Amino acid sequence: MTSTSEGPRRRVLLGAVAALVAVVSIAALASAAEPPRTVIQRTIDEVLAVLRDKSRNQDQRRKDLEVIARDRFDFVTMSKLVMATNWKKLSPEQQTEFVEQFTRFLANDYGARIDRYHQEEVQITGEQPEARGDQTIKTKIVGGDNDGALVDYRLRQKDGNGNWLIIDVVVEGISLVANYRDQFREVANQGGPVIVIEKLKQKNANPSSPVPELEPPKKEAPKKS
Amino acid sequence: MARALVAALLLLLAATATAQESNGGGDVQGAASADSDPAGARSPWDPWERFNRKMFAFNEDVDHFVLEPVATGWDYVVPHRVETCISNFFENLMLPTRFANDLLQLKPWKAYETLWRAVINTTVGLGGFFDPASVWDVYKSDEDFGQTLGYWGTPAGPYLVLPLLGPSNPRDTAGLVVDSIPYLYIPPYTLIPIYASVPGTAVQVVNRRALALETIREERKAAFDWYAAVRSAWTQNRENRVHDQAAAPVKPGATPDEDLYDVDE
C-alpha cells in the first residue's frame, strides 16, 4: 500500500468510503441482535415500569407481564430442556400442546410472584459466557425483603444471528429448568410423559394465584327487605 | 444426651470420610464434589427415596398441623420489622460457626469481615437486632461445617431427609453436629440455661417459618411433585453455596440427561 500522498482526489474518495462504512455499520448495528445484557436491562426496566404503574389494576399488570415474558423467553427450548429424554416420547401435537401449557403455567406463576415485589431495584452485576454459546447475565435484587438475592438469567441466541432469548432463570443457585425437570421426571415415571401435560392443564385451569376477578366473591350486602 | 448425640454423629462423619477415600478422594480442593454425584451436579442422587419420601411426609404433617399454624399466629401478632430483627439476632449468634468455617476454608479475609460484622452488629446494631453491617456492605458469611467438608472434597452423599430438620445429606448432617459443638462447650453460650435455650430455639424456628410463610405457600402451589421440587431446590442451593456461587463446571462428555442445557436433537 502507498502512503497518503496522492492529492485531494484520493482524500475525497477516502472520505466517501469512510462515510459509506459508517452508514453501513450503523445500519448493521441497528439490525443486529441486541446483546444479552441489553436484553436483560430492557426487560428489567419494562417489568419494573409495569409493576410501578399503579394506574393499571393487578389483572392488567399481569397481562402486561405476560406479554413481556412471551417476547423474552424461549419457551420452546425451555420445554425441551425440562422434558429432557421424555420430549421425544411426545408426538408433535403433544409437544405443541406441552409448550402451550407450560408457557401458560410459567406466565401465570411468574406474574403471580413478581406482582408482590415492587419496592425493589434490580442491578446487573456481571455476565459470563457458558457452554453452547449461551450467555449468563447476573443480577442482584436491591431493597425490599429479598435484598441481596441473586438472580441469573441464561440466554441463548435463536438460530445464528437471531435474538437472544432467556432459557433459564437461576435464583440463588436454583435453576428453574432443573427444578421442573426433576419434578416432571418423577411425574412421567409414574404415568408417562402425557401425564405431565394433564397435570399442567389442571394447574392452568386453577391458577396458583387467581387474578382479582376470580377471587372469592365478596358476600353481597343483604338486600333490603 | 447432647454428648451422646455428638459422639454418634462424629461416627457418621468418620463414615463419610471413609466413603470419600474409597471414592478415590485423593484430590483435595473445591472441584472434587462434582465427582460424588453420578447423575450430574444438578440432578439429585436419591437412592433412599422411599425412606426419604416417608420422612418428608412426616415433616410435612408436623409443619401442616403444628409449625405452620403456630407461625401463622406469630406472623399475625408480631410486626414484620420485629420478625426481621429477631432473625438478625439469631444470625448474629452464629458468629463462632461462620468465623471458624471461614478460617477452615482458608478464607482469612472473609473471617476478618465476619468478625467485623459481628462487632458492628452487636454494638451499633444493639445486640444484633439490627443489621447496619449490611447497609455498609460488610461481607455476610454463610459458611458452615458441611460446606467446609465440601470445600475439602468430601462428597455430599445421597439426599437424606432428616426427621424435623428436613433436607440434608450425610456430609451436611455431620456438619450440623460439628457446628453445634461451640454452642455446647464454649462460653458464653454454655452459660445460657436450658430453660432459656429451649424457648429461644422455639422462637427462632417459629420466627424463621413465619418469614417464609408466603414463599412456601406459593412454592407448594406451583409444584407438581413437592418432594422433588424441595429436593432439587435444596440440593442445587447447597451445591452452589459449597462452591461460593460459582456454578459447577459441566463435565465433558456428559450425556443429554446429565447436561441440563443440551437440547437433544
Which residue type does A7 have?
Answer: G
- Residues of chain B in contact with residue A80, where contact means CB-CB under 8 angstroms, are 263-265
Residues, chain A, total?
Answer: 225
Residue A118: which pLDDT band, with cuts at 50, 70 and 90?
A: low
- Which residues of B, range 129-158, sit inside 8 Å of A by Cβ? 134, 140
* pLDDT tens digits, one per residue of B47-77: 999 999 999 999 999 999 999 999 999 999 9
Give which of A108, A110, A82, A93 is closest to A196, Cα–Cα.
A82
Cα-trace Rg, chain B: 20
Cα dihedral B237→B238→B240→B245 (10° resolution): 90
pLDDT of A22 reads 64
pTM: 0.79
The mean of the pLDDT values for chain B is 82
- CA distance to partner chain A, nearest, from residue B261 (Å): 6
Q: Provide the 8-state DSSP code for A217.
A: P
Residue B214 and residue A116: Cβ atoms within 8 Å? yes
- CA distance to partner chain B, nearest, from residue A132 (Å): 8
Indicate the range of A48-52, B217-221, B261-265 predicted with least confidence. Answer: B261-265
**Helices then strands, each counted (H, E), chain A:** 7, 5
* pLDDT tens digits, one per residue of B94-143: 988 999 999 999 999 999 999 999 999 999 999 999 999 988 888 888 99
Q: How far apart are CA A137 and CA A154, in angstroms?
A: 6
Domains of chain A and CATH, by start? 35-204 (3.10.450.710)
Helix (H), strand (E) at residue A166? strand A164-171
Residue B221 and residue A209: Cβ atoms within 8 Å? yes
Residue A7: which pLDDT band, with cuts at 50, 70 and 90?
A: low
* pLDDT tens digits, one per residue of A10-63: 666 677 777 766 665 555 555 578 899 999 999 999 988 988 888 888 888 888
Indicate the range of B9-13, B163-167, B243-247 predicted with least confidence. Answer: B9-13
ipTM: 0.78
Residue B261 and residue A178: Cβ atoms within 8 Å? no
> What residue has cell string 454423629?
B9
Most A CBs within 10 A among B46, B224, B262, hence the mutation to make, goes to B224
Residue B237 forms contact with A (CB below 8 Å): yes
